Amino acid sequence: MEPRDMEKVLQPKLAEIRRYLIRLGAGASDAEDIVQDTVYKALLYLDAIDERKFSAWLYKVAINRYFDHCRSQKRYQYSGEEVEEHPAHEQELPEVVLLRRERKEEIEGVLARLHPVNKQLVLLKYEMELSYKEISAMLGISEGRVKATLYRARQQFQQLYGGEGE
């Protein structure tokens, strides 16, 4: 693959990984550093990476690097940084916009309280819309384990979200 072709393929994927890392809790600069490390490793091991699994390999390297960073900081923390917000429709009532923003803040708060592995799976499945098979390949675990852990993650989310008002 030509360097220009590779850049066209890589840029959107790297932007997606950066957004995902921020959603996991990385700061914007940390996410950028992790993405750069991931690209560096990809260039080092390009010949050894199966082309069909390249995307999953990138995610796995980035996620592992993020958790290494968290361990070195001795924390798992939600950064609170916003990922690009979708603009509200001009014709929406202010009350609708306010309710949507409040609900989003509640959900973000619950996500921040989830166990890091559960948060990771919830984001991969419901925000990134990956299949169980894709998540399994990306994380190197069985589909059954992905399903079981995601089930527990949904239960934890529901418990925390339902318990917010109590």
Q: Please tell me which residue, 164 or 55, carries the higher pLDDT value.
A: 55
Secondary structure (H, E, C), 40-51: HHHHHCHHHCCH
Does residue 135 sit in helix, strand or coil? helix
Band of residue 86 on the pLDDT scale cut at 50, 70, 90:
very low
80 pLDDT higher than 50: no
Across residues 128-144, what is the average pLDDT? 87
> What are the structural domain ranges in the chain?
3-73, 94-162
Instruction: Tell which residue, 87, 85, 75, 135, has the closest CA to residue 105.
Output: 85
> Does domain 94-162 bear CATH number 2.60.40.10?
no
Q: What is the CATH number of domain 3-73?
A: 1.10.1740
| Cα-based distances in Å from 113 to 22, 47, 76, 91, 110 | 15, 40, 10, 34, 5
Q: Which amino acid is at 34?
A: I
pTM: 0.56
